[in-house]
Chain A
Amino acid sequence: MSEAFVLNLVLWLPVAGMALVTLLPAGRDGTVRWLSFWLLLAQFFLALWITLRFDPAVAGLQFATSVPWIPGWGVRYSIGLDGYNVLLVLLTCFLGPLVVAGATTAITAQVRLFHAMVFFIQFAMLGAFVAQDLLLFYIFWEAMLIPMFLMIGIWGGQRRLYATFKFFLYTAFGSILMLAAVIYLVWWQSQATGTLSFAFADLLRTPAPREAQMWLFAAFALSFAIKVPMAPLHTWLPDAHVEAPTAGSVILAGVLLKMGTYGFMKLGFPLFPEATRAFEPMLLALAVIGIVYGACLALVQTDIKKIIAYSSISHLGYVMLGLVSLDIVGVQGAILQMVSHGLVAGGLFFMVGMIYERCHTRELAAYGGLAKLLPVYSVFFTILMLASIGLPATSGFAGEFLVLLGAFNSAWRQHLAGNSYALVLNAIAVSGVVLGALYMLWFGQRFLFGASKAPHAPLHDLVPREKAILAAIVAAVFLLGLFPQEAMKRTELAAREFQQLVQRAPAHLSLR
């Protein structure tokens, strides 16, 4: 009871923060920043406590709350932690205070609104992760769009209006079809089983007939694939990333993109097992295309923010690869890769923001030899760059390695059964690792080494605030890289459950 209260506290703390920030008198920007930072830090420590208290040996929900919300329609306010979301909740709460700390000098206009929006998006993202009711999940899922729309549109770069409309309209289109699927799914369930319920647990129990599954899965998958984003639905991402302020990019890369892969993992695949198996070859191909295509695009970019944006597409391709392998190790690797990418890409976006604040350009050609000009910056950058490549001892290695291990596990079984399709695609996916090293190292070489040049001559190195942000991220990257077991044991039961749900035999349930 009291433990469930803590999860509610974590979820609703941002709402309190939003109210406080809104009610503060105008012109108290310093107070707003401090208040937001401390509230989000407190939220992180609560989330950390929950994560440590999370019992890996217990299958199913922990810290669960479930009360009727709209009794007439069978909608419940139902939240809880399980192996699927526990690490993602921690990641979200970890990045929250860092985002606020990172925005201290970058955001000087409409400070109250900015922090209110940070709280708003924290609330929506956490809600989407912990929700165990389909309507509740959908509400949080869609609610995320409003703060992100404002964040890109108000504090963004030159083409911010184009980028933010594209972001909103792209993602909203997927969501509308998902809403239709949600309503149909629940309606069908109530016809078939006689109980009207939006609870994940109830919906998972009785899969729809194969025909319906195909349509429903297509609608869900479209929405999730846009959010991930999977090629060819990724075109909103580079625009949104490049135009967003640093805080927006960090939230977008750090957490928001994981919504898509989380959606596939928690809902898309388990709710529609037959459709998943039917679509698996296609999804596998799209994941591999995402890995290679994202990497190739990252290779040719001249804007440093775009390099990282396209690398996100590539890295999330790995997450999808791990998920579609339907292998326990692959799925665990996918979750690890989600967290790792959140840390690494988030950190890299922070670093891009820091250099942009100093030089006001993101053109790679304008920079060179920063290792001499900004030694501390360069050390942090090198670490995050290597983590992005997946160097052993960093979180990137653990995630990518496990994903590929799982993917080959599953592909090899199929190969022995006479189907080499997955094996060939996985072999191509491995080339993405090489490409990843190529674009990141080449980027690092041009950025950090060579003849020293920068648009603004006397550059001051990182201030303590910036050092603290990056140190926290780097510490997390190493912690996850050196002790992945701590994370993996928390996700193991969920991965088993996932595999079981996706590979179960079709149920024979007819309409009553």
Chain B
Amino acid sequence: MNWQILFAAMLPQHLLLAGIVVLLLAEILLPRPQGSPLLAALAVAAAAAAAFLLQRAGFQGTPFPGQYAAHPTQMLAVLVMLLLALPAILLARAEFRAPRYYALLLSSLYGASLLPGSESFLTLFLGLEIMSLPVYALVVMAFRRTQAPEAALKYLVLGGVATAVLLMGVSLQFGATGSLALGRFETLLSSSSLVALTAAVLVVLAFFIKASIVPFHTWAPDAYEAASLPATAYMVVLVKAAVLFALLRVLGQASVTGLLVGVFGVLSVASIVWGNLVAMRQTSLRRLIAYSSVAHAGYLVLALLGPAGGRFQSVTLYLLAYGAMNLLLLASLPADEDDERRDRVEGLRGLFQRSPYAAVMIAIAVLSLAGIPPLPGFIAKFLVFAQVMAAGHVALAVAGLVASYLGIYFYLRIVQLMFMSPTPAHSGAPLAAGAVDVATGLLCLLPAVAVSLFPGWVLGQL
């Protein structure tokens, strides 16, 4: 084994691991540890810097041949996830002070960062499980909510089902091709044998469960609602990003054809329609975000139908815009001792009068998620539909676009509550935004501004 390549190729992961070790030691040794959010943020920032430099340098290396490979595209996916993780950590600092929360979060991130570089289903499976297991614990850590254990259990059971379905699919692939290599998955797609097709469909469905695609989405609203807000932010953004990058990796350079076009197309349009429709009726903000994330998962899966060459670009840009804006939304929510009150959509009433900064940030976030230009969500959505059309699926693109119209109303309603409704009498004093809040907001806003003003430049980097 070449130690130098092992060191360089997985440098971001090593830095995350160092962070985890330090956090765990602090948990064990120090009676009242301080500054764990900062430490976690530093570890992620260092990992992101390493990923950035390796990506710029065009580093390529295979520390574990046949299992794991580092290359610029993989590094870029890791970098995007790490950049999105940074605000997700910062927005947890008020609610969680103990190192264990951050140790779990970094562990999950470690698993996520293995996915884009996986070369075989073995590594991919390891990465998925390392990513998922800490999240179950993150959900249950919101002991302020009585439903938290129930939601965590539900999430765990459905996560287990997804794992089982994935393993079934993988074993069928092994049966059909005699190999666990991800490269062989492409051959399943073009094969006409029933076993191969079943394997492909099962693997894809496992990822659909994890990405909360209709009809496998029912865990998401419960888990998101019951989890603490920072854990929700992590699940909404990072877990979804990791699952999509994994699915991209599985599909490789293969185009989605034949039967799978139907599976992808029907389920993604159904997700967009159902997610948007049900989101309209939500009174809990996190459930609303959950259903809207079901719809966004629909756009992302639709993007996978695009030509193999442009797929990575469109998915990554979408994840960047979607992730940054969801994080901005969650990071800007005014703090409240009562978690359930904070979660109420109605609680945003008259926010502009109490905290103009927060209201403007949330407005930018939701209008972007609704895909209204000139905000980044539009550019991302446009690219997705342009790709789908370029692959020749005109009817699906039109259906998806029309379905996306359904997603405008509930986002507008949030803007309406914040700007157009009077402040309720019993609401608290005007809220001032702290320096770290603003910094977190800027961290989310920066990629958004880059995407909407210089989309050409951003796409050039992808």
Given A143-B374, A149-B412, the answer on whether A184 and B389 have CB atoms closer than 8 Å is yes
Given A138-B373, A139-B378, the answer on whether A69 and B455 have CB atoms closer than 8 Å is yes
B404 contacts across to A, CB distance below 8 A: 176
Which 8 A-B pairs rank lowest in CB-CB distance, beginning with the nearest?
A70-B456, A139-B373, A153-B420, A142-B373, A176-B405, A180-B398, A180-B401, A70-B455
In the bound complex, how far is the Cα of B460 from the Cα of A454, in angstroms?
65
Known: A153-B416, A183-B385. 16 other contacts (CB 8 A): A69-B455, A73-B383, A73-B386, A75-B456, A138-B373, A143-B373, A146-B372, A149-B415, A153-B419, A164-B416, A169-B409, A169-B412, A172-B405, A173-B405, A183-B386, A184-B389
A75 contacts across to B, CB distance below 8 A: 456
A71 contacts across to B, CB distance below 8 A: 456, 460
22 inter-chain pairs at a CB distance below 8 angstroms, sorted by A residue, are A69-B456, A70-B455, A71-B460, A138-B373, A143-B372, A150-B415, A154-B419, A165-B409, A168-B412, A169-B409, A172-B372, A172-B405, A172-B408, A173-B405, A176-B405, A180-B401, A180-B402, A183-B382, A183-B386, A184-B389, A184-B397, A187-B386
A142 contacts across to B, CB distance below 8 A: 372-373, 378
Size band of the A side of the interface? 35 or more
B15 to chain A, nearest CB (A): 32
> Contacting A145 at CB < 8 Å: which of B372, B402, B460?
B372
In the bound complex, how far is the Cα of B405 from the Cα of A138, in angstroms?
16
CB–CB A72/B394 < 8 A: no
B456 contacts across to A, CB distance below 8 A: 68-72, 75
A145 contacts across to B, CB distance below 8 A: 372
Indicate whether B367 reaches chain A with its CB closer than 8 angstroms.
Answer: yes
B110 to chain A, nearest CB (A): 33
In the bound complex, how far is the Cα of B390 from the Cα of A73, in angstroms?
11
In the bound complex, how far is the Cα of B386 from the Cα of A176, in angstroms?
13
B419 contacts across to A, CB distance below 8 A: 113, 150, 153-154
The interface bits of chain B over 365-394 (1 if a CB of A lies within 8 angstroms of the residue's CB, else 0) are 001000011100010001101100110001
For chain B, the count of residues having a C-beta within 8 Å of the partner chain is: 31
A286 to chain B, nearest CB (A): 23
Indicate whether B459 reaches chain A with its CB closer than 8 angstroms.
Answer: yes
Indicate whether B352 reaches chain A with its CB closer than 8 angstroms.
Answer: yes
Q: Taking beta carbons and an 8 Å cutoff, which residues of A are in contact with B?
A: 26, 68-73, 75, 110, 113, 135, 138-140, 142-143, 145-146, 149-150, 153-154, 160-161, 164-165, 168-169, 172-173, 176-177, 179-180, 183-184, 186-187
B408 contacts across to A, CB distance below 8 A: 168-169, 172
A71 to chain B, nearest CB (A): 5
A187 contacts across to B, CB distance below 8 A: 386, 389-390
B385 and chain A: residue at smallest CB distance: A183
B327 to chain A, nearest CB (A): 21
B416 contacts across to A, CB distance below 8 A: 153, 161, 164-165
B459 to chain A, nearest CB (A): 5
CB–CB A179/B420 < 8 A: no
A169 contacts across to B, CB distance below 8 A: 408-409, 412
B373 contacts across to A, CB distance below 8 A: 138-140, 142-143
The interface bits of chain B over 214-249 (1 if a CB of A lies within 8 angstroms of the residue's CB, else 0) are 000000000000000000000000000000000000
Q: Taking beta carbons and an 8 Å cutoff, which residues of B are in contact with A?
A: 352, 356, 367, 372-374, 378, 382-383, 385-386, 389-390, 394, 397-398, 401-402, 404-405, 408-409, 412, 415-416, 419-420, 455-456, 459-460
In the bound complex, how far is the Cα of B400 from the Cα of A179, in angstroms?
12
In the bound complex, how far is the Cα of B367 from the Cα of A85, in angstroms?
29
B420 contacts across to A, CB distance below 8 A: 150, 153-154, 160-161, 164
In the bound complex, how far is the Cα of B459 from the Cα of A68, in angstroms?
13
A145 and chain B: residue at smallest CB distance: B372
A70 contacts across to B, CB distance below 8 A: 455-456, 459
A138 contacts across to B, CB distance below 8 A: 373
Residue among A70, A113, A135 with the highest chain B CB neighbour number at 10 A = A70
In the bound complex, how far is the Cα of B409 from the Cα of A164, in angstroms?
12
In the bound complex, how far is the Cα of B310 from the Cα of A187, in angstroms?
14
In the bound complex, how far is the Cα of B410 from the Cα of A165, in angstroms?
11
Residue among A72, A160, A179 with the highest chain B CB neighbour number at 10 A = A179
A191 and chain B: residue at smallest CB distance: B390
CB–CB B459/A176 < 8 A: no
In the bound complex, how far is the Cα of B386 from the Cα of A255, in angstroms?
31
A150 contacts across to B, CB distance below 8 A: 415, 419-420
A179 contacts across to B, CB distance below 8 A: 382, 385, 401
B389 contacts across to A, CB distance below 8 A: 183-184, 187
In the bound complex, how far is the Cα of B396 from the Cα of A180, in angstroms?
11
In the bound complex, how far is the Cα of B453 from the Cα of A69, in angstroms?
9
A113 contacts across to B, CB distance below 8 A: 352, 356, 419
A28 to chain B, nearest CB (A): 14
In the bound complex, how far is the Cα of B382 from the Cα of A72, in angstroms?
13
CB–CB A146/B402 < 8 A: no
B352 contacts across to A, CB distance below 8 A: 110, 113
A148 to chain B, nearest CB (A): 12
A110 and chain B: residue at smallest CB distance: B352
B408 and chain A: residue at smallest CB distance: A172
Given A71-B460, A142-B378, A187-B389, the answer on whether A177 and B455 have CB atoms closer than 8 Å is no
Residue among A113, A165, A180 with the highest chain B CB neighbour number at 10 A = A180
B460 contacts across to A, CB distance below 8 A: 71-72
A73 to chain B, nearest CB (A): 7
In the bound complex, how far is the Cα of B351 from the Cα of A154, in angstroms?
13
A149 contacts across to B, CB distance below 8 A: 412, 415
Residue among B383, B405, B409 with the highest chain A CB neighbour number at 10 A = B405
In the bound complex, how far is the Cα of B312 from the Cα of A118, in angstroms?
39
In the bound complex, how far is the Cα of B296 from the Cα of A35, in angstroms?
41
CB–CB A180/B397 < 8 A: yes
In the bound complex, how far is the Cα of B383 from the Cα of A186, in angstroms?
13
In the bound complex, how far is the Cα of B371 from the Cα of A143, in angstroms?
11
B390 contacts across to A, CB distance below 8 A: 187
A164 contacts across to B, CB distance below 8 A: 416, 420
B402 contacts across to A, CB distance below 8 A: 176-177, 180
A146 contacts across to B, CB distance below 8 A: 367, 372
B394 contacts across to A, CB distance below 8 A: 184
In the bound complex, how far is the Cα of B405 from the Cα of A168, in angstroms?
11
A70 and chain B: residue at smallest CB distance: B456
B318 to chain A, nearest CB (A): 15
